[in-house]
Chain A
Amino acid sequence: MQAPKWLSIERRPIPSGRTIFTVSILGIVAALIVMAIFFAAYGVSPARAYGAILHGALGNWHGFSETLRRMIPLLLIGVGLTIAFRALFWNIGAEGQLLAGAIAAAGIALFSGLPDPLLLPVMFIAAFAGGAAWGLIPALLKVKLGINDVITTLMMNYIAIYLMEWLIHGPWKGPTARGFAYTDTFARAAWLPTIYGTRIHWPTLVLGLLLALVMYMLVSRTRSGFEIRVVGENPDAARFAGISQFKTTLLVMLIAGGFAGLAGVGEVAGIHHRLLGPLNISMGYGYTAIIVAWLARRNPLAVIITSFLFAIIISGGDVIKVSLGLPFQLINVFNGLILFFLIGSEAFIRYKVSFSFRRQ
């Protein structure tokens, strides 16, 4: 047999919600335990490290507000990704879609000359369109030409990164930026309001929460939601039922790309108020949101919880750097571990895994 003899893997009947929940929690706990070993290796007691992270990310108003503002892009992108993943469209390109949205919004803010009250709404529309356009290219390539979505969405990330680099070093470089590679600051009317004393651009947060709800309704209550699921789970059945793979794929990527684009306008209009280096704008939200959507088991409402969880982890990274003197990169280790344990645990959900040391 293929697998080692001490390990046998059989397919389980449909797993219960409780199995899924328990196994997910166990996956996270396993990642936490491995991280505890890391902390101990650095001479920091794990209890103290976790205590500091929780306190720093949740225990005071400033920390909590930073956690919430990290949650916004993760929430928006994560909700969109649950829809794409439902149709089994492997959108690894949310990072690029976020940047495309940021670019589109910045273009409107800097050059449109629109009257003040129109500025922000048009920026949001442009960002949605920018992100959606960036996501629709791979979608079209997949349904029309059968080209692998993983690869194209991934490549589009880098094209967005270099497009942005080019804009801020070249044509869009601000005359008032004193030689730095970023654009001029947006006019005040293009700034999103924030909750006083914080960086929480609340309109984007509210939008994210609303969209999570709307998408939940879409997938659970509407025909489109049903079609998305059939296309993902059983393409043959979808064909028999006359469900258009073309329309469904375009729809899910319109949503996934558009929402990532909205995350982009949130970051530039809510935090930076200008276009600057891609790494300053995103630090990998598009990739982290993949874990967020995965952990939420493709349920848009659950993304509210999982995006908050990962926002804590990102804030925790600042905490362990500043107050414990540990490298911020531990966050990437932690994210990688969680993802591994999650997909590992997936096997325990889909299959019945048993260990035996008997000779067979």
Chain B
Amino acid sequence: MGWETWIITTLSRTLAYGTPLLLGTLGEIYAERSGVLNLGVEGMMIMGAYSAFTTAYITGNPWLGILVGGLIGGAFSLIHAFASVTLKANQVVSGLSLTMLGLGLSGVLGRGWEGKPLPNPIPAIVVPGLSKIPILGPILFEGQNLLVYLTIILVPLLWYILYRTRIGITVRSVGESPATADSLGIKVDRVRYLCVLVGGVLAGLAGGYLSVAYRPAWTEGMTAGMGWIVIALTIFAFWNPAHGMLGAYFFGTLYILSFRLQPWISPEFLKAMPYAFAILVLIFVSRGTLQKRMGAPAALSVPYTRGEE
């Protein structure tokens, strides 16, 4: 294999693997921007993967599977929203239990489906014309599926909503200073519910992408820690969807390289990189002013009750 092919296939795989990371990260960015830390990403993702796979298998329609994956991810996230927003429970513990619940439930329900391949996955496509561009063509426009592109389209959309619209200002103000937002008549709890829901739907879609497109089969625990990388990525991205895209593909590259560089660098080293990077990034931006400018929501993981500071 020539080095050119090697680079092309590596980058093309990166794009494919980075997609679920990106979907999950975009969702977690919205949840955290509204002030809710959701450590249940892994759980929502795997529930999405399970329900998408079974739906696609039974109905024969992979797109319906993806849709159901998103819905189940969203429904699952509402448990966290209820616990952390309505009951004002500890968000760390609530998120962890969501992950346990999701891994457990999908393992239990998915037992009969274990190892079954999906006969009708979401097809890879070749974009006519564009795929002929040298180098970029085979990376971007050959062998990817529609979800990869839809996810990329989501990035500017979610960025625009967050920074350039009234909705975005509302979300961010709820995450920065819920008391101020409340005094301006913003329904803090409703905003947080919706943002957590967005996070759940996107995590569910990410799971669906894994089981119906990326690796069309169901295996227990198939998200394999991806949800935790999403948590790391959200910080790495400074809670900004555009940075999230760079981060997701960067971490995706590291993951793919952990297989492809095996003869030279130990895969464990590269696999540990995303987690080490997350810590390093936190160290670099730790100076208060920088952190504020970089966008860590001030009220992250603090429940809000009117009249209590």
Contact = CB atoms under 8 A, between A and B. Distances in A.
A150 B92 contact: yes
A131 B226 CA distance: 25
B161 to A, nearest CB: 23
Given A3-B189, A141-B279, A158-B275, A335 B100 contact: yes
B286 A150 contact: no
Given A2-B304, A150-B301, A337-B97, 7 more contacts: A147-B282, A150-B39, A154-B231, A155-B278, A335-B97, A340-B94, A343-B89
B104 interface: yes
Contacts of B111: 327, 329
22 contacts: A2-B182, A2-B188, A2-B304, A2-B306, A92-B96, A141-B279, A150-B301, A154-B231, A155-B276, A158-B275, A159-B275, A161-B272, A287-B96, A335-B97, A336-B101, A336-B104, A337-B97, A340-B94, A340-B98, A340-B101, A343-B87, A347-B88
B100 A339 contact: yes
Contact of A287 (B100, B266, B305): B100
Interface of A: 1-4, 7, 9, 11, 38, 90, 92, 141, 145-148, 150-152, 154-156, 158-159, 161-163, 165-166, 169-170, 287, 290, 294, 326-337, 339-340, 342-344, 346-347, 350-351
A303 B116 CA distance: 42
Interface in B52-102: 79, 83, 86-90, 92-94, 96-102
Contacts of B108: 38, 326-327, 329-330, 333
B107 A158 contact: no
A159 B276 contact: yes
A308 B105 CA distance: 24
Contacts of A159: 272, 275-276
A90 B95 CA distance: 13
Interface string B280-309: 001100111001000000000100111010
B92 A339 contact: no
Contacts of A169: 266, 268
Given A145-B283, A166-B268, A332-B103, A151 B97 contact: no
B139 interface: no
A347 B287 CA distance: 35
A343 B90 contact: yes
A333 B101 contact: yes
A155 to B, nearest CB: 4
Contacts of B86: 3-4, 7, 9
B100 A152 contact: no
A335 B94 contact: no
A332 B97 CA distance: 9
B268 A151 contact: no
B160 interface: no
Q: Which of A11, A148, A163 has the most CB of B within 10 A?
A: A148
Contacts of A333: 100-101, 104-105, 108
Given A147-B283, A332-B103, A154 B266 contact: no
Contacts of B232: 151, 155
Contacts of A163: 268, 272
Contacts of A156: 275, 279
Contacts of A294: 93
B92 A148 contact: no
B243 interface: no
A310 B204 CA distance: 30
Contacts of B92: 90, 92, 150
A330 to B, nearest CB: 6
Given A163-B268, A327-B108, A2 B276 contact: no
Contacts of A332: 100-101, 103-105, 107
Given A152-B279, A332-B107, A339 B231 contact: no
Contacts of A152: 279, 282
A330 B188 contact: no
B228 interface: yes
A233 to B, nearest CB: 14
A341 B37 CA distance: 19
B94 A343 contact: yes
Interface in B179-237: 182, 187-190, 220, 225, 228, 231-232, 235
Nearest to B234: A151
B96 A347 contact: no
Contact of A327 (B43, B107, B276): B107
Contact of A347 (B87, B235, B272): B87
Contacts of A287: 96, 100
A152 to B, nearest CB: 6
A147 B286 contact: yes
B79 to A, nearest CB: 7
Q: Which of B89, B94, B231 has the most CB of A within 10 A?
A: B89
A170 B266 contact: yes
Nearest to A328: B107
B271 A150 contact: no
B93 A162 contact: no
A31 B88 CA distance: 20
Nearest to B284: A145
A162 B14 CA distance: 21
Nearest to B235: A151
A79 B182 CA distance: 40
Contacts of B279: 141, 147, 151-152, 155-156
B269 interface: yes
B188 A343 contact: no
Contacts of B268: 162-163, 165-166, 169-170
B132 to A, nearest CB: 41
A158 B187 contact: no
B89 A347 contact: yes
Contacts of A158: 225, 228, 272, 275
Contacts of A2: 182, 187-190, 304, 306
A92 B288 CA distance: 24
A328 B304 CA distance: 38
